[in-house]
Amino acid sequence: MQKTQENNDLPVDQQSTGKKNKKAPASASVSKDKAQAQQAQQAPKAQAQQALSKPKSGDVYVKFRGNDSADWVKFDSKQDLPQLTSEIHKMILRAAGPNPESKSELPINFFDFGGVAEHFLGGRGDDSYCEEPPRIALQNAIIYSFVPTNKKFDDIDKMAKAAEKSGFIGIVIITKKHGGRGKADVLAHLVKQFEQSEISYFEDTAEVLDELVDCGCNSIANMWVIPENPEFAAMVPQEKTGATHISKEYFLNFVVQKPQPQQAQVVASAPVASAPASPASTN
């Protein structure tokens, strides 16, 4: 009985043997430190994967440069829209970079992806996103797109990478196209966060532009990129949207930077500058 009583008086991890704890060797401590360091490195990736898991209709996913996290931020479908769009507004201002004269007056350009930005970023079919897309010519360009919560949702990382390479400052993914928390509803709330900014929105779905006006958003320049499919091209935005109708060709000419001339072309044109003056200039 005495032996049993002594055993019970020991710490729990020693009761079975009655032996004292042995000090862990130094190598074990080093291994533990390495494991903790690896876990710290993997944590952001794990958080990003968790953010993209199990999307629900009404969730909003955003990714902007210049923010504390370079990974996706998820706003749950139950989150208050004014609060949600206030947070996105702050991200946009940070992504716009330091030192604008007045951030409240920044020009902002939102682009739908399918049928709009995909014309120069790719995205039709598997492995079709451009590895080296042309640069966007407009300031503070943001992808603002609906992506359903099905297999297509797996593409949003590819969309974000192509957009980033092109010079977009961020991407906003809406998981519901119409109605409450749809594209028009969320964008209308987001626009309210900007005071005097000049905002343009490039969209190819006429119904979304119609809804945007119905949501009370009348202060932005709606640009309807005419769909290539004749069936959808016949679905014209209502006159109340004030939308400017632009073709794919005009759109690309307007928003994509022109390629710089090669050095060889510059050298070839140099003799022109030293050509003799024209007769008209010698009189």
Crossing angle for the helix pair 183-191 and 81-95, nearest 10 degrees?
60
Query: How wide is the angle at C-alpha 47 spanned by C-alphas 42 and 51, nearest 5°?
Result: 150
Question: Domains of the chain (ranges plus CATH)?
Answer: 63-96+103-259 (3.40.50)
115 Cβ contact list (under 8 Å, min separation 6): 204, 205, 225, 227, 228
Do 120 and 133 form a contact (C-beta atoms < 8 A)?
A: yes
pLDDT at residue 25, as a whole number: 59
C-alpha 131/C-alpha 121 separation (Å) is: 9
| pLDDT tens digits in sequence order for the chain, 283 residues long | 444 444 445 444 444 444 444 555 555 555 666 655 555 444 444 444 566 778 999 999 999 987 766 689 999 999 999 999 999 999 999 998 765 555 667 899 999 999 999 999 998 765 689 999 999 999 999 999 999 999 889 999 999 999 999 999 999 999 999 999 999 999 999 999 987 789 999 999 999 999 999 999 998 999 999 999 999 999 999 999 999 999 999 999 999 998 876 654 444 444 444 443 443 433 3
**For strand 60-64 and strand 73-75, is the pairing parallel, antiparallel, or unpaired?**
antiparallel
C-alpha 52/C-alpha 67 separation (Å) is: 18
